[in-house]
Every structure is written in C-alpha cells, then in structure tokens.
Structure 1
Amino acid sequence: MLLRGRFLPRRHVARGAAMAVGAAMAVVTGLAATPAVHASSSVTGALRWAPCDDPAPPGAECATLSVPVDRAHPDGPGLDLAVARRKATDPGARIGSMVFGPGGPGDSGVEMVVDRISRFSPEVRRRFDIVSFDPRGVGGSNPVTCSSDLLAQRPSPELKSQADFDATLAYNRRLRADCRARTGPVFDHLDTAQTVRDLDALRAALGERRLTFHGSSYGTLLGAQYAETYPRRVRAIVLESVMDHSVPTTRDFLRFGAAAAEDSFQEFVKWCDGTADCALHGRDVRDVWQGLLAQAGRGELEDPAKPGTALSSSDLVNKIAFRKFYKADYAGLAREIAGMDASRPMPASPTSTAPLPAATPVFCSDWHLPVRDYQEYASLVAMMHRTAPDLPHLLPLHMTAACLGAPATNPQHRLDAPGAPPILLANALHDPATGYPWAVSVARQLGRSGVLLTYEGQGHGSVTSGPCMEEAVDGYLIDLTVPPRGAGCPAVPS
C-alpha cells in the first residue's frame, strides 16, 4: 500500500500457500581469425540444455540458440547465441521463465546466471527459471574482436585542436575496419533492434507465449524496444536503472550524463559531511578531490592498483569515483581518496587513458551522437564541466568521441508501445549513470503502460535494495500486481 508516497512491503502470504541495475565489459582482443558463420534459415527451435563447462557451479545449464546475423536476410549467415539458465528452485510453484537483459553494453548474461544468481531475489528464483544470454557481439555470442595494439592506441578524449579531432575520426575509421575484419558479418548488425529479434526467438525457444523480462541498465533499452516491437507478447517487463533512448541531441545526452554523475558526487560530499566514520570527515572534501585531480593532471598521482604508474585525471574520475558511485560505496571512496591524498606525489610521468572495450560498437550502433568539428566538441566539453565541475572527462564524453563518424543503425527515438501491459520501471533517485529524469521520461513515453517505482536512495541498480523494493518487484513479476503510481521506497542505510 502507499503511505506518504512510499510503497510499503507486504509478505506474500496468499501467494506463499500456492507458490512464492557500467563499468564488467566483455573485451576480446588480439589476432583472432574471422569467426566462422553458418547458414541459418530459421531458429533451430528447442534449446538443448546441458551442464555448463567447468568451473560452473552445480545447477547452471547452458545451451546455444541459432539466429540469423541479419534479420532482413534470414537465409543468410547465422550465429549461435550463448544462453544459460537456472531452474526454478520450487518446480511445483514454477510460473515459467524470466529472461534477464544484461547491461553494459558488453555485460555477459551467461556469467550473471552462472556466477551471480544471487543478483535475483529468492522469491523470483523460486518461481521462475532464470534465463539470460550473451547479446550478439558479447562474450560467447560472436564477440566483437579487435587488435589489442590498436585498442591501446586510442586517442585521449581531451581534444585540444581540430587536428586532434581529425585524428580521432581517422583512428575510429581504422578501428572499425579492424574490428569488422576480425569479428565477421555480425559487426554490422549489433544494434538493439536486432537483439530484440534475438530476444523474441529466445522467448519462442523457451516455449513462452508471452515474455517475462528483467532488464538492467543498458538492458532496459532491450526491454523497452521489445515492448515497442511486440507489445502483445509481453507478460511482464521490469526496467531497472532506465536509459532514455529518446534523448535527441549529443548535447542533451552529455548534459544528462554529467548531471547524474555530479548529483552522486554531491551525495557523497553530503554523506561525508554528516558521517563521523567518513575518512574525510571534517575536511573540505571538494578541496581534497580537486587537489587529486590537479596531481593527476600533472602525472604525479600514483595509481593505487598499479604502484609506480601514474593515474590520469580521466581514470581518477571514471575508474575510482564513478565505480564507487555505482554501489554507493561512499565509505570505500572516502578511504581511497584519503589514501591517495596522504601519499607522496610521484615524479611527473606520462599518463594514458584506459582503452574502451571492444563492445563499444554496440553502443555506437544505438546512439547517433554527431559532432561537427573541434569547435563544437570544445563547447560540449565546456558544458559538461559547468554541469559537473567535480568530474571532468566523464565516460559519456569518451563514448561520444569513440562514436565519431560511426553509423547508427538504431538511432534515438521516442518509445511508442500501444497495447503493452503495465511495465514497471525502477530507478534510484540518485543514480550516477542513468539519472532519475531518464526514468521519469521513459515512464511518460510509455503512457498508461509505464509505472515508475522510485528508490529514494543512491546507486546504480535498485530492485533488491531492501525489502520494500524487492517485494514490490517480486509482486509485479509473480502476481502482475503493479505498485500504486507515484510509489517509492525509502533508502536502505549502507
């Protein structure tokens, strides 16, 4: 029920009697040969399940699903998608299969099911077979493969001239050609619209008349576009940490990303100011942080994970702070900042920016983020620094630079899913990667079908953030009970 705008947990008493959200990327590099493809006139049908290869834990089963590389040419080359499942722990109460859509792009759904099944609530595991897959271009599903040497040569996104801009465009062309040659035909068919068809093929192969789906982060694009493409084939869809694929311009995309990250930094500062256990309590957190950014900019800040190696300001922001924001690990971030601040500056050394994952072409296929020239690029960088003064060189800027010149086969558009049943969106109020305004926007685009459940806390991913969120999501997936509109759940202390 709803009280003061919050959804209060309830135990599944009646149901119990009969039954019961990034950045790890899949990166393949080196001198791999072009993968072999096979002729595929249609999906092969039933999945042949077998125990996953060692060292998979007991109970994890794996299979492959054959799909066309290009849905426009179903008789052309095909590829095998890697699929995994865990059977419902209470077969007598089993409802069916729930498919998980992994994030990233580049996360492995197979790895999630095999190694991280605790990601899902006990009640959902009891009632559903948990199934996921590696999307095309990822993990065991014909992964994007690129030269490791070429990936390591990626130009810094800190462009300083038109010559730098032109060099980035030229590098992107070389990298795309290399990845395409090593990856094979699937390279030109990586977008989410193609993966939507793969998801529907998986639904059919599982014997499900309608899809039950939980998509997290980048996986919310897949769930939303499935509802748009096949609204009558939806049983239930949870979109957790919601991406808004209607953002029309590069400037809007970068501004929203910067605002979400800066909001998390402000939450961190607020927490530290009010928490005696914070390693920086009583100090000016922003001043300490800015000092580290300045050291990193001079090549004098040692990487805590790689002694003797200088940490770039970009990696300080994205590898240190941003990753801690994902789990709202403010205590851990404060300790790490305090440790770096207490260390002696190292002799100035050259720094480099960590290479982006080989799965980046998946993102570039879904997002049209044009930038005309260096002058426009510089104005975008200045806008981001105004929006997020504490977090320069954020990952969305890296992705924009990496996609310069790339064709987007599934560009942004507003959702249109008439006839879809209620779809549950779950988002933290302070999410560093998929800001709360995105979830509000997507719920509005879904109209009567969109129901937003707000987690009034921090972090990326929220469906298991305390009993209130967990039971609200479980009730929707199991009973198709939708929380009241405007419902929220209180933050759970970390």
Structure 2
Amino acid sequence: MSSSYPPSPERPKRRGRLAVGALATALFAQLLGGTSVAAPAPEPLTWQPCESPYGVGTFECATLTVPVDRERPQGATVDLALARHRATDPEHRIGPLLVNPGGPGGSGREFAFAAPLSFSPDLLERFDIVGFDPRGIGLSDPVTCDEELIAAQESLLYPDSGSSFAALRRTNRVLGDDCRARTGSLVDHMDSTSVARDMDAIRAGLGEERISYYGVSYGTALGERYAELFPDRVRAMTLDSVIDHSLDSWTLQKTRATAMEESFGQFADWCARTASCVLHGRDVRALFDSLYRRAAAGELSWGGDVLFTDEHLQRLALNFLYGTADWFRFAEFLADLDTPDPAGARSSLRVQGAPAAYGYFPVLCQDFDLAVPSYATLAGYRRRLARVAPVTRFSTLAWTDLTGCQGWPAKVADPQHELHIDGTPPILVTNSRYDIATPHVWGAGVARQIGREAVFLTYDGAGHGDYWSSPCARDAIDTYLTTLVPPADGTHCPAVWPTGPSAPRRSQGDGPVDPLPALLGTGTRG
C-alpha cells in the first residue's frame, strides 16, 4: 500500500519495517559464517516466461529448491520464487544484479517486476535484474499464522503495566507456536544467515562466479551477511538506507527516537519556510505536542467518531515522514485533526483489511536479541526516550520491533555482532541524513565496521531509500554498479525538498518510481 494512505487508527497496519544486545563475539560470527559449511551444489535454474503485474517489461520466472536447515540437507526444503528482467543491451551485459527491497517481508520478486519503472536505463541495459522472495515470504512457501492471534499481538504492543507485558509475552509465544504449526520448521529458519546462503545458491544456479547486489532497508542486512560469508563472490554491492546489526535494544530505541525527532524537526522547519504548507505560520512542534497530549488523554478523534490514541498518532506521523512527497498531506492531516469541524477535513484515511501473510517477526526475532527482563525496563526506556525526543517522544517503529519479539519462541539464530568483512571490492554505503527507519548514524556505523572496503555517501535530505530520494545518489549508485568506480568516500549529495502541493511522487516522466510503498506498505519498511 502506498504511503499516501496512512493506516486506520482503529487498526493500524502491521509494519514489516526493520526495518531491529550485541552479545555475539567476532569468533561466534565467524563460526556462523565460516567455511565449514560447503557451498551449495549448482542447481541450474530453469526459466519460463512470466508477466509483470505492472504490465511493463519482459520477464522470466524460476524456482530454486534449497534446504530449510543446512545442517540437515536431506530434510525439509523450501522453494524460492525468482523473477528476472534480462539486460536490454545483451552485447554489453555485465551480469546479474540481485535485488532486495527490505521489510523484512518484502518481495524481491515483485521488486524485479518493478525494475523497468524503478531503475535507471543504465542499470536495465547492463544487468539482468534478479529478484527473489526470501524464504517464508511471498511465493517462497510463505509463513501463515492465525489472523486473530496477529490482531491480539497488535493490541498488546504498547504495554502499560506488568500484567499487560506478561500478556504480550504469552501472546507472542502462542502466535509463534501457531505459525510453526501452520508453516512447519521453516518458521525457525528465516534468519539473515539462512537467506544469505540462499543467495549464494541462487548465484550458483545462475552459473555465475560473482554477483552484484543492490539492497535497500532490511535488504542491506542480507547484503552485509552475504559479504561476510562470501566476500570473494561479490562483484559490487550497494547498501542503501542501512541496517546496523551491531546495536543492542536500548541503542536501537535511542537512535531511532533521535531520528524521528530530527526528521519531524525538518518537516516543521520546511513548513515554516514554505508558504504553500497549510501550517505555514504556525508552531508545528507545539501543534504536534498539543495533539499528542489530547490523544493521550482520550480527547482526540477523527471526524467525531474515530478515537485516536497517542500511539496511533505517532504511527501515522512515522508513516508520513518516510518520504518528503507526503509532507503536504501530513500538514493537511495535522490541521484537519486539530480542527473542531470534521466537515472541514481535507485528508482521508483508508481502512485496512485483514492482515497479510506473516513474515516480519519470524525474521526480525531471529536476527536480533531484543529480550528485556521486565516491564520496569520498558517503562524506564519510555521515560528516557521522552527526554531524547521531547516532541515525538519515541519511535513506534523501534518500539514495536522491541515489544513484538518479547517471548517469541524461536531461537535467535543470527544475533547482533560487529561486521567482519574482508576481501570484497569496494562496498557503497548510502544513507540520508534524516531517515526515520534507518538513521544516518547506522549507515556511518556500518561503514566504519566494514572498514577499508566501505565508501560512505550521505544524502543531506530526508527520506528512506536514497536511490529514489536523490538524483545525485542515484547517479553515484548507477556509476558504481556499472563501472566499479565509487564516489569519493564522504561524498555528500544536496537535499531535495518538496516545492508545491502538487509535487508528485516520482514517475516515469521525472525519474524512476519509488517502488517501496507499493512493495512494503507504509510503515512496513526498515
């Protein structure tokens, strides 16, 4: 679902966001990714013509069967669904560009189908764009769970007492057990290490010695793990809007709360200098603070009949702040929410349907050890976060990542650790300065961990997904992937701000279309 439509405050849409302590040692990380596990035997892919739902481009689809658990290669298997857009200039084809849009839970297959609309002609000419649905996602044997249990979990993600925290833990455990009963052992093997090994099986199935990779948002976590495990099989790699897999529970909360506060501040400052913003001339920070206090007191409603809680208000704000294209509508929404006359409302809310297949927490809770000992710890976090972010209070994205994993029954298979990457070509790491999902400090931290192999580029504006936010960043990514010449380390791209209420989301006429809202849904990216 597009970010033009925030979720219903009655039942906010579940994020598939990160979108995230650090307990593993470097030795443990090396044991997880060491050479003791043999590379998958090549299984040539059999491609068949298939059609894109977008009606543009010529595609082939294939299926690759891999073990659910590589320690039991003769056991259960999972069928990975792939799609490929062949290079439009075959004589100058470089090879495959594997792509992933993040989530976790996003469909790489759908990402490939969107390639003719979402990537530049340079990439389309030179690369076969190959997307795959990660195990348990999309058409790759998707995880399914009881919808009523998913709804029960959502209702408990903001515990306000020891008893509600205990209820959350019980519900998460029951939900995880239900997912396992419906899906099988796959639900316990959805960590990023398992997916990175799937990526190498895809490489082998393509008959390639090395692959190029573009991952955005949680797709960067897959790229990071692949580069750790298989550095000699990387031709080029771009990590756009970066996950830092080294951070503990509190640091994840603090850095995302800071990013939320700073991003809202950019929105407020933009409105102050933009005459066509409906809130121009008003103190936008004070308005949001007033709305928050009214919501927390049970005094804020939409149209007189939909009650807004403070968490609903914050989640809607998060959704609007994913990209600057929605800032005019965000201003209108806040103005409408503040008005006493519902007939004057300009914005609209789209009511959500039933939850989709459930792939988010089975991944996140196996990649991050987020357990906290008690409700008192959570309450302490909230008090500290309110000091970090006095206007926006905290990040609902980070918070529900934390609470959604409490009591989750699967093992943390790929816990946090500092990256240990050695022997790859240069890896291009990009991050916007004001990104609510993957804060700039995460990108800087990952570049530092990668070390001499990393080249770090900063987009000085706001948004998630630099490729579609910044023409400058897009040109740098295209140039690097096609020529292997990265920009200078520390390069900055200038901010691009919306200029009028009719400013459209990027389209074919003015650059590649941002596919992330359609692929992942607003608030489901990280």
Amino acid at match of 1:490: P
Amino acid at match of 2:220: T
SS of residue in 2 equivalent to 1:334: helix
1:442 and 2:446 aligned: yes
| Cα displacement (A) at 1:261 | 1.2
Name the residue aligned to 1:51.
49
Name the residue aligned to 2:379.
378
1:121 and 2:120 aligned: yes
Q: How do 1:41-440 and structure 2 match up within 5 A?
A: 45-52=43-50, 55=53, 57=55, 58-115=57-114, 117-154=116-153, 155-247=155-247, 249-303=248-302, 308-318=305-315, 320-328=316-324, 329-344=326-341, 358-359=358-359, 360-392=361-393, 394-406=396-408, 407-440=411-444
Cα distance in 1 for partners of 2:328, 2:386 equals 25
Contact 2:457–2:491 at 8 Å: present in 1 too? yes
SS of residue in 2 equivalent to 1:146: coil
Deviates more, 1:383-392 or 1:139-148: 383-392
- 168 and 345 in structure 1: CA distance in 2 versus 1, 3 angstrom threshold: farther
Cα distance in 1 for partners of 2:130, 2:149 equals 35
| Cα displacement (A) at 1:451 | 0.6
SS of residue in 1 equivalent to 2:87: coil
SS of residue in 1 equivalent to 2:459: strand
- 187 and 404 in structure 1: CA distance in 2 versus 1, 3 angstrom threshold: same
Cα distance in 1 for partners of 2:266, 2:428 equals 26
Contact 2:336–2:342 at 8 Å: present in 1 too? no
| Cα displacement (A) at 1:45 | 1.5
Cα distance in 2 for partners of 1:43, 1:392 equals 51
| Cα displacement (A) at 1:356 | 9.8
Contact 2:210–2:235 at 8 Å: present in 1 too? yes
SS of residue in 1 equivalent to 2:321: helix
CA deviations 1:10-44 (Å, max 9, x no partner) are xxxxxxxxxxxx98749xxxxxxxxxxxxxx9767
SS of residue in 2 equivalent to 1:153: helix
Cα distance in 2 for partners of 1:244, 1:116 equals 26
| Cα displacement (A) at 1:344 | 4.0
Contact 2:296–2:310 at 8 Å: present in 1 too? yes
Amino acid at match of 1:50: Q
RMSD over aligned Cα atoms: 2.4
CA deviations 1:437-485 (Å, max 9, x no partner) are 1111111111100110111111001124343222211111011002111
Q: Normalising by structure 1, what TM-score? A: 0.86
SS of residue in 1 equivalent to 2:469: coil
Amino acid at match of 1:430: Y
| Cα displacement (A) at 1:287 | 2.1
Cα distance in 1 for partners of 2:305, 2:52 equals 37
- 47 and 343 in structure 1: CA distance in 2 versus 1, 3 angstrom threshold: farther
Cα distance in 1 for partners of 2:427, 2:270 equals 33
Contact 2:52–2:59 at 8 Å: present in 1 too? no
- 107 and 265 in structure 1: CA distance in 2 versus 1, 3 angstrom threshold: same
Name the residue aligned to 2:469.
465
Contact 2:421–2:450 at 8 Å: present in 1 too? yes
Name the residue aligned to 1:453.
457
Cα distance in 2 for partners of 1:141, 1:356 equals 15
Cα distance in 2 for partners of 1:371, 1:137 equals 27
| Cα displacement (A) at 1:135 | 0.7
Q: Normalising by structure 2, what TM-score? A: 0.81
- 312 and 138 in structure 1: CA distance in 2 versus 1, 3 angstrom threshold: farther
Contact 1:137–1:362 at 8 Å: present in 2 too? no
CA deviations 1:353-403 (Å, max 9, x no partner) are x97972222111100012111111110121222222332461211111110
Amino acid at match of 2:245: H
Amino acid at match of 2:159: L
| Cα displacement (A) at 1:103 | 0.5
Gaps of 5+ in 2: 1-12, 18-38, 344-351, 499-526
Cα distance in 2 for partners of 1:321, 1:122 equals 34
| Cα displacement (A) at 1:293 | 2.1
SS of residue in 2 equivalent to 1:51: strand
Q: Which has the higher contact order (CA 8 A, sep 6+)?
A: 2
Amino acid at match of 1:434: T
Contact 1:24–1:106 at 8 Å: present in 2 too? no
| Cα displacement (A) at 1:180 | 0.8
- 44 and 206 in structure 1: CA distance in 2 versus 1, 3 angstrom threshold: closer
Contact 1:299–1:311 at 8 Å: present in 2 too? yes
| Cα displacement (A) at 1:63 | 1.3
Cα distance in 1 for partners of 2:16, 2:374 equals 30
Between the two proteins, the alignment pairs up a number of residues equal to 449
Contact 1:24–1:107 at 8 Å: present in 2 too? no
- 85 and 369 in structure 1: CA distance in 2 versus 1, 3 angstrom threshold: same
| Cα displacement (A) at 1:131 | 0.8
Contact 1:23–1:104 at 8 Å: present in 2 too? no
